[in-house]
Structure 1
Amino acid sequence: MTKAPRLPLRSLTLALALASAAQAAPDAPSPILTTPEARDELTYARPEIARVTHVDLDLTADFATHVMRGTATLDILARPGATEIILDDNKLAISSVTDAAGKPLKWSVGAYADYKGTPLTIAIGAARRIVITYASDPGASALGWLAPPLTAGKVKPYLFSQGESINNRSWIPTQDSPGIRQSWSAKITVPADLVAVMSAERLTPKGEAAAPGWHSYRFRMDHNVPPYLIALAVGDIAFRAIDARTGVYTEPSVLAKDASELSDTGRMVTTAEGLYGKYRWGRYDVLVLPPSFPFGGMENPTLTFATPTIITGDKSNVDVIAHELAHSWSGNLVTNATWSDSWLNEGFTTYFENRIDEALYGKERAATLADLLWDNLQRDLKGAPDADATRLHGKPEGTYGELDYTKGSTFLRTIEYTVGRARWDAYLGDYFDRHAFQPQTTAGFLADLRAHLIKGDAALEAKLQLDTWAYAPGLPSNAVHVHSETLAKIDALLARVNAGAPIASVDAAHWSTQEWLRFLNGLPRQQTAARLAELDRTLHLSSSTNAYIRSAWLVLAIANRYDPAVPAIADFLPSVGRGLLIYPVYRALKQQGDWGMAIARRDYAVARGGYHPTVVSALDKMLGWKG
């Protein structure tokens, strides 16, 4: 196999000072990577010419019109002779652009491209601070505006943002690329009976009186972060501390339950620091959102956004919090420069998450999670539309399915098993220190491995197969598969059940979510109606309060066109917005032709208004939705 070229890692930090010391970003600007593989195809920006270093927002959340409106003040670093800056824009209604003194600047919006949006070109002249007055579109892809019935409390509305990967350009005019790190600050004005939180230091936790009936909240992020990590939530939000630096934000009606489930969060931070160095972001809090949040979690600095589906009463899904916490090193601290290398975020973080789980909950718990990921790895390798979709360094939209997570983490685990844990941990801690607050590419990571871990050892280089892992499709021959004794017992049980043993012989009283999933997903896809009725009656699957279990059960029921499960489908789909759990159900319905599509369209019509815009976009395409 031909190896991809080893590209030299170079970086360029523009050396101009800003117009005044008062305009300087809190941290010195992070480097911009200029090697060919670091060119981000999903941004219009030309950061090597002129780049944003700091964003200051002054916005009002208008729940009546579903619009964020106000100003964004941008500090700019430009090379000599630069006369314009190009930003990313997605349907922003721009009123004016001026310099810091209020002098109008010429600006233009280019042609619209689906998903990517439009270039916003501003003639800056000598200006190094500009002020953009604008409003977001009511359908902004980053913003989820929820009516009261879609919240836990059912009384007040809710707003949350989801920036990854390039959605923040729909409410913030900036250079929306992970490789263009920026510091930021904000004043957010909201109705006085609501609370605003953001992914930054909270300067006014109780808010400040603004106009009658309004309060303002101020935030500051002194470190340079990729723009997708600027995050906002507004709603009926309360807080409970876990310890001196961790706590939980959520709606008051579920605060006690959520805080109890997440009580190990402080221990997770301490454990992570013991593995790979100091936590550098100050506080680490978790915001549990309403059900329409589309992901398991989002690693926004200082404030992980989490789905309520992880609150299952047994802590068997708090590995999601371990994952988002681990992003405080891999992703937030050292970030993929482009989305073609998103495995540098997700693969590293999935590996790190597993190490936190092992340290807190034991080797077998970690082995169970790793073994399940191996199953997902095999599933996606088989299901990928083509070989290219299985490469770690791949297309701008990343690899197929969860391969960024599963193949990426297996790569790192294979390095650990090859060189030994002590040596690997020492390298990885040093790696995070040396590249802190900087973007990274696959080529850069491999160069770093060769310089600081392999150090010319030809035999080790051959064993690791670095280029095969990074650039070739499929799974290299040295991949490490961790086996779980817990799942082996489930497999033995499955063999008996699949041979005809009664479901009443299954003792699932103390199963974790992972054991449930192994069992349900291990059942043959073809079942009789009588067997499905026995499963549901004995194990109470349709009424389970665990969304993971219900999703897996419904997929099995749908595969057999099991009509008694149809009411459970109608109950489930509007109650959960997490893509991981609802996409398989809709996909299974679609595969059943007219029978399934009739159910899918009926239930989607009810559920659609409560889903996040990114989920709506995906499901509209999947179902051919015309409204």
Structure 2
Amino acid sequence: MKTILKLAVSLCLFVASTSSIAASNQSSENKDWHTLSNYQQIISTHIHLNLEVDFNRKQLKGYVDHTIKKIDPSVTTLAVDTRALEIHKTEAMVDGQWKATPFEMAEPDAVRGTQLSVEVPAAATQIRIHYNSRPEASGLQWLTPEQTAGKKYPFMFSQSQAIHARSWIPIQDTPAMRVTYTATVKTDKAMRPVMSADNNPKRSPDGVYQFNMPQAIPPYLIAIAAGDILHKKMSKQTAIYSEQAYLDSAAKEFEDTQAMIEATEKLYGDYLWNQYDLLVLPPSFPFGGMENPRLSFITPTVIAGDKSLVNLIAHELAHSWSGNLVTNATWRDLWLNEGFTSYVENRIMEEVFGRDRAVMEQALAAQDLNHEMKTLPEADQILHVEMQGRDPDDAFSGIPYTKGQLFLIYLEEKFGRQRFDAFVKTYFETFAFKSLDTPSFVSYLHKNLIDKYPGVVSKAEINEWIFKPKLPKNAPQPKSNAFKLVQQHIDNWLASKSSLADIPTGKWTIHEWLYFVNNLPRDLSIERMAELDKAYNLTQSTNNEVAHAWLLLSIQREYDKVNNRLSDYLISIGRRKLIVPLYKALLENPDYLTYVSGIYRKARPGYHPLAQGTIDALFKEAKNK
């Protein structure tokens, strides 16, 4: 019965989304600056991709068909976003036949790429664009066999968020619009392509694969990968796709994913995407995860062997409600995606792993945010951040994630969990398969929560959270009793009231270890560093988060016993969260410039273009000082 109900709900939402696909809850003055497309005049309601994965030339080549719908009947061109794409020809479907139609490429914009305008005949129903991507596409990474775990076949994967879909598809690249898609993808018979769509676990004997995404999604959620990818089922609704090296360990590590789905459904309503699979990528993936619907992309750095980092899986799953289902209309509204997702993630962790762990993760995130805010200009501490003229990748910081989460925890504490849960669930139902901007959310919040329960939270308090920098004075301050005990052990050891042998670390969770390392004094002596390392072997920690925290402290204290481990760590991992702070710390010390330059020469070819761009800028800044 439940399956039938979920299918019916999904079908109804899909029909509703496609019948009014141009509609998004977006203020008219808040047009997405980051697109050069004319999405407010004409839109793609569906695209079909026909692509060949060419590893030799490091390109995707073929065509994309846009099924078009005119919002303004007088419009005569379809304008789409591109970046470093080679456009060969364009055609229009008129009276059941493809006919050549003219196109024009505008002058490139440094942030937004190049606008492609295609003439749309009056009777046209579809536009076809023949093209190929270039090896330097910002949204694709091409790995040699040597850069993969198996060492036998190459690997390719996409990262379309925020505006990188335009580097491999000519498309209206804005989260304000949504599109369904199908695809035909051809690759070498020995390899398998996968997409953010329904993936058939069976291998194709001829290397040609078909994909279908029947729910309308924003373009940044269109994703592709190809390589020596295997499949392993975890549960009725979940599976792992990965190279052989990660298949079994990932399936064991992430075996609670089905329990997470069911816990979230109890809180916020049915999961509307059918399957939820995980693609474990090579270590060069620049993020922890990417919430591509039906197939989240995941870094192998969270396979710790003890499920200590699976909150990342909860985060990407949470996007199935906040982000994928209800989407930020522009990139200045990113907090609507990530703040809600961080909040839902933590609720999932509480349901599956208990309140104590959830509070520890809240406290660690809040501590990280407080440290980060000291380095951010006030303008970037605002949830509704101004992004015009800037790369939308600059919007990604702890502000949309953790400040957004704390705002929602604040509302939960003020209104009570029962009332707030009902509000969040109704919010997801009301805006399912739609895009929303901050002014529209504020209006909905007032109508359905603030005004409904008067005298609890004021308009001024809401405005302070969303439109002002810093954290309000009455912001939640998550505290863990376990961390209080860890802090006591730190204080006693530093005051020579106890030894390291007296600290009961045997039963510590990874969260307690992270708190321990992160809260050691920044002026700790080399002798004390060596004492810690001898007792706990922190330099060789196999948990990538703990290793990161220890390596960062070691760089700051010039504890050179970590140099070999640091070099290996930076060369073997491409996740920006873990490597960028280490490069920053190294480059702040002129004595490390030769050392870190040597590491980066070896590491850079294995990094994603997004990571390369970030770290290249750090080196440029350091050399200009």
Out of 386, 401, 408, the position equivalent to 1:412 is: 408
Structure 2 residue identity aligned to 1:388:
A
Tell me if 1:260 matches 2:252.
yes
Tell me if 1:169 matches 2:169.
no
Deviation at 1:561, TM superposition (A): 1.9
Q: Which residue of 1 aligns with 2:49?
A: 57
Answer yes or no: is the 8 Å Cα contact 1:32–1:48 preserved in 2.
no
- The change in CA–CA distance for 1:426 and 1:407 in structure 2 (over 3 A counts) is same
Structure 1 residue identity aligned to 2:116:
L
Tell me if 1:395 matches 2:386.
yes
Q: Which residue of 2 aligns with 1:545?
A: 542
Q: Which residue of 1 aligns with 2:532?
A: 535
**Structure 2 residue runs without a partner (length 5+):** 1-15
Alpha-carbon distance in structure 2 between the residues aligned to 1:546 and 1:457: 45
Q: Which residue of 2 aligns with 1:453?
A: 449
State how 1:572-587 maps to structure 2 within 5 Å.
572-587=569-584
Deviation at 1:268, TM superposition (A): 0.4
Alpha-carbon distance in structure 1 between the residues aligned to 2:168 and 2:602: 27
Q: Which residue of 1 aligns with 2:81?
A: 88
Out of 194, 198, 201, the position equivalent to 2:195 is: 198
Out of 306, 310, 313, the position equivalent to 2:305 is: 313
Out of 219, 224, 237, the position equivalent to 2:216 is: 224
Out of 318, 321, 334, the position equivalent to 1:326 is: 318
Structure 2 residue identity aligned to 1:535:
L
Answer yes or no: is the 8 Å Cα contact 2:92–2:121 preserved in 1.
no
Q: Which residue of 1 aligns with 2:61?
A: 69
Tell me if 1:102 matches 2:108.
no
Tell me if 1:369 matches 2:369.
no
Out of 363, 369, 375, the position equivalent to 1:383 is: 375
Structure 2 residue identity aligned to 1:161:
S
Q: Which residue of 2 aligns with 1:509?
A: 506
Partner SS, residue 201 of structure 1 = coil
Out of 108, 114, 117, the position equivalent to 1:121 is: 117
Alpha-carbon distance in structure 2 between the residues aligned to 1:457 and 1:252: 54
Alpha-carbon distance in structure 2 between the residues aligned to 1:380 and 1:286: 30
Percent identity over the alignment is: 39
Deviation at 1:408, TM superposition (A): 0.2
Structure 2 residue identity aligned to 1:545:
T
Alpha-carbon distance in structure 2 between the residues aligned to 1:539 and 1:460: 48
Deviation at 1:206, TM superposition (A): 2.7
Tell me if 1:159 matches 2:156.
yes
Q: Which residue of 2 aligns with 1:496?
A: 492
* Higher deviation after alignment, 36-45 or 230-239: 36-45
Q: Which residue of 1 aligns with 2:607?
A: 611
* Higher deviation after alignment, 491-500 or 267-276: 491-500
Q: Which residue of 2 aligns with 1:477?
A: 473
Partner SS, residue 259 of structure 1 = helix
Q: Which residue of 1 aligns with 2:566?
A: 569
Deviations 1:5-63 (A, max 9, x none): xxxxxxxxxxxxxxxxxxx9966525144524531111001212111211110001111
Alpha-carbon distance in structure 1 between the residues aligned to 2:376 and 2:29: 23
Out of 250, 274, 294, the position equivalent to 1:282 is: 274
Out of 230, 250, 253, the position equivalent to 2:242 is: 250
Aligned length: 596
Q: Which residue of 1 aligns with 2:328?
A: 336
Structure 1 residue identity aligned to 2:251:
A
Alpha-carbon distance in structure 1 between the residues aligned to 2:25 and 2:370: 34
Deviation at 1:485, TM superposition (A): 1.2
Alpha-carbon distance in structure 1 between the residues aligned to 2:28 and 2:364: 36
Partner SS, residue 540 of structure 2 = coil
Tell me if 1:44 matches 2:36.
yes
Q: Which residue of 1 aligns with 2:13?
A: none
- The change in CA–CA distance for 1:367 and 1:277 in structure 2 (over 3 A counts) is same
Partner SS, residue 374 of structure 2 = helix
* Higher deviation after alignment, 53-62 or 476-485: 476-485
Partner SS, residue 383 of structure 1 = coil
Answer yes or no: is the 8 Å Cα contact 1:146–1:610 preserved in 2.
yes
Answer yes or no: is the 8 Å Cα contact 1:389–1:400 preserved in 2.
no
Structure 1 residue identity aligned to 2:402:
T
Alpha-carbon distance in structure 2 between the residues aligned to 1:539 and 1:115: 46
Answer yes or no: is the 8 Å Cα contact 2:221–2:291 preserved in 1.
yes
Answer yes or no: is the 8 Å Cα contact 2:201–2:231 preserved in 1.
no
Deviation at 1:322, TM superposition (A): 0.3
Partner SS, residue 314 of structure 2 = helix
* Higher deviation after alignment, 455-464 or 290-299: 455-464
User: TM-score normalised to the size of structure 2?
Assistant: 0.92
Alpha-carbon distance in structure 1 between the residues aligned to 2:148 and 2:503: 36
Answer yes or no: is the 8 Å Cα contact 2:139–2:167 preserved in 1.
yes
User: TM-score normalised to the size of structure 1?
Assistant: 0.92
Answer yes or no: is the 8 Å Cα contact 2:89–2:130 preserved in 1.
yes
Partner SS, residue 456 of structure 2 = helix
Answer yes or no: is the 8 Å Cα contact 1:25–1:222 preserved in 2.
no
Answer yes or no: is the 8 Å Cα contact 2:17–2:433 preserved in 1.
no
Tell me if 1:350 matches 2:347.
no
Structure 1 residue identity aligned to 2:382:
R
Answer yes or no: is the 8 Å Cα contact 2:26–2:437 preserved in 1.
no
Deviations 1:267-304 (A, max 9, x none): 00000101100000000111111100111111000011
Deviations 1:510-532 (A, max 9, x none): 43322222111111122332222
State how 1:1-20 maps to structure 2 within 5 Å.
none
Q: Which residue of 1 aligns with 2:6?
A: none
Deviation at 1:451, TM superposition (A): 1.3
* Higher deviation after alignment, 564-573 or 456-465: 456-465
Answer yes or no: is the 8 Å Cα contact 1:178–1:227 preserved in 2.
yes
How big is the alpha-carbon RMSD for the aligned residues of Structure 1 and Structure 2?
1.8
Alpha-carbon distance in structure 1 between the residues aligned to 2:309 and 2:421: 25
Deviations 1:452-476 (A, max 9, x none): 1223554124288111111111112
Deviations 1:429-487 (A, max 9, x none): 11100100000111111111111122355412428811111111111233112211121
Q: Which residue of 1 aligns with 2:176?
A: 179
Deviations 1:533-589 (A, max 9, x none): 222222112222111111111111111222222111111101111011001110110
Deviation at 1:364, TM superposition (A): 0.5
Alpha-carbon distance in structure 2 between the residues aligned to 1:418 and 1:37: 32
* Higher deviation after alignment, 294-303 or 526-535: 526-535
Q: Which residue of 1 aligns with 2:11?
A: none
Partner SS, residue 287 of structure 2 = coil
* Higher deviation after alignment, 358-367 or 463-472: 463-472
Tell me if 1:148 matches 2:128.
no
Answer yes or no: is the 8 Å Cα contact 1:608–1:616 preserved in 2.
yes
State how 1:431-450 maps to structure 2 within 5 Å.
431-450=427-446
- The change in CA–CA distance for 1:519 and 1:222 in structure 2 (over 3 A counts) is same
Structure 1 residue identity aligned to 2:139:
A
Alpha-carbon distance in structure 1 between the residues aligned to 2:295 and 2:396: 28
Answer yes or no: is the 8 Å Cα contact 2:49–2:63 preserved in 1.
yes
Partner SS, residue 509 of structure 1 = helix
Answer yes or no: is the 8 Å Cα contact 1:590–1:597 preserved in 2.
yes
Partner SS, residue 524 of structure 1 = coil
Alpha-carbon distance in structure 1 between the residues aligned to 2:127 and 2:286: 34
Deviation at 1:253, TM superposition (A): 2.3
Partner SS, residue 384 of structure 1 = coil
Tell me if 1:111 matches 2:107.
yes
Deviations 1:364-422 (A, max 9, x none): 1111001111112211222212x111110012236573111111000001000101100
